[in-house]
Amino acid sequence: MNIFIFLLLLVSTLEAKVVLITGASRGIGLKTAEHLTSLGHTVYATNRKELDVTDDASIQRTLETIMQKEGRLDVLINNAGIAVFGPFELVTIEQAQRVFDVNFFGAMRVMQQVLPIMRKQNSGLIINMSSTSGVRPSPGWDVYGASKFALEGLSEAARAMAHQWNIDVVVVEPGTCATHFFTESTEIASRKNEDTAIYDTFMPNAMKWMEERLAAGQNPEEVAAVIATVIATDKPKMRYQTSVKGTQTVAKLHCDPTGETSTREQELLLEPLWRGGLDPQIGSSFR
Ligand SMILES: NC(=O)c1ccc[n+]([C@@H]2O[C@H](COP(=O)([O-])OP(=O)(O)OC[C@H]3O[C@@H](n4cnc5c(N)ncnc54)[C@H](OP(=O)(O)O)[C@@H]3O)[C@@H](O)[C@H]2O)c1
């Protein structure tokens, strides 16, 4: 085969895609944008000022711009996310609603506007950024985990429906990543009354443990590489973890129909957070 035909084949295998990423001002979204651009894809890496996932009009404006310029949208990466940290008893309803408004309703809003575009094209890929917390809640991430569980449920339902239009919906489930998620995108649970004092030791322990876990977390570049592989795949699967440990965690859960193994594991994680004396290895399966 001559070199020209080889290069042509290589370019057609890479197939440059038009990609929209939400929440790409930093962290996983930014690294994914950089990586996909370096591979030759056309990337619309949006920040909250251009596309706020809680604002339908801003989603519509962005999609109109992309369609005017590119005439198509091949891949949506619903990456924008926020959290509230603390056991659910300490989370105010307003804090929980804010998290769901971005992580669940935000992703749903963008999907609702993107699906008709992809349906007309008879092609498309939607990647929803979940988490290992979307299959097993980690200590202190009760409401965040719940929002990712909801996103997983929506993604699974949407996937089965969208296949008939040649559209794929997948979830990516990173474990702990070394981004600024905890410092920049996470509120601390603030519901207080005489009953919540029971968490006075637990909370500082859990926060310290979490800060250490996040600092030692996976590089966002590795998550970006997994996303690039999903985009290059002909028939993507439903879920993608981003590390061997993450896959082991999820595999274990899917072999635990009663949920008892998972409950026991969570109890073991929670126990030292009540009394301090944290073992840095605790919860390493989340990474
Ligand atoms: N870090 C982890 O350990 C981890 C693990 C598993 C999954 N994830 C998920 O990965 C995704 C990215 O997180 P990250 O770690 O990269 O955190 P990050 O660096 O804090 O990035 C979060 C991004 O979401 C954006 N965002 C927040 N609210 C938004 C809204 N209403 N509309 C549009 N954008 C909004 C932020 O924009 P602003 O600059 O405007 O705040 C920021 O760009 C999230 O969905 C998160 O749940 C993270």
pLDDT tens, residue by residue, 202-216: 999 999 988 888 888
- The whole domain housing 211 covers 15-286
β-pairing, 83-85 vs 186-188, is parallel
Q: Which residues line ligand 1 (CB under 6 A)?
A: 22-23, 25-29, 47-48, 51-54, 79-82, 102, 106, 129, 131, 174, 176-177, 179-181, 184-185, 214, 217
Q: What confidence tens digit (pLDDT) does each residue in 144-184 have?
A: 999 999 999 999 999 999 999 999 999 999 999 999 999 99
Residue type present at position 279: D
User: CATH code at 212?
Assistant: 3.40.50.720
Q: In this structure, is residue 1 part of a structural domain?
A: no
The residue whose CA has the least distance to atom 1 of ligand 1 is: 177
- Measured CA to CA in angstroms, residue 4 lies from 1, 174, 285 at distances of 8, 39, 47
Query: Count of domains in the chain?
Result: 1
Specify if 6 maps to a domain.
no
Q: What is the pLDDT of residue 162?
A: 98
Q: Evaluate whether residue 107 is within a structural domain.
A: yes
Is there a domain that residue 86 lies in? yes
Residue 18 is which amino acid?
Answer: V
- Helix 56-70, helix 105-121: angle, nearest 10: 30
- Catalytic residue from among 17, 31, 130, 185: 130
Q: What spatial distance separates the first Cα and last Cα of the chain, rounded to whole Å?
A: 44
Confirm whether 130 is a catalytic residue.
yes
Question: In this structure, what DSSP letter does residue 235 have?
Answer: S
Q: Tell me whether residue 4 is in a domain.
A: no
Buried b or exposed e, range 187-197, using 16+ CB within 10 angstroms: bebebeeeebe
pTM of the model: 0.93
Is residue 238 a part of any domain in this protein? yes
State yes or no: is 49 an active-site residue. Answer: no
E-strand ranges in 32-131 read 42-45, 75-78, 83-85, 124-129
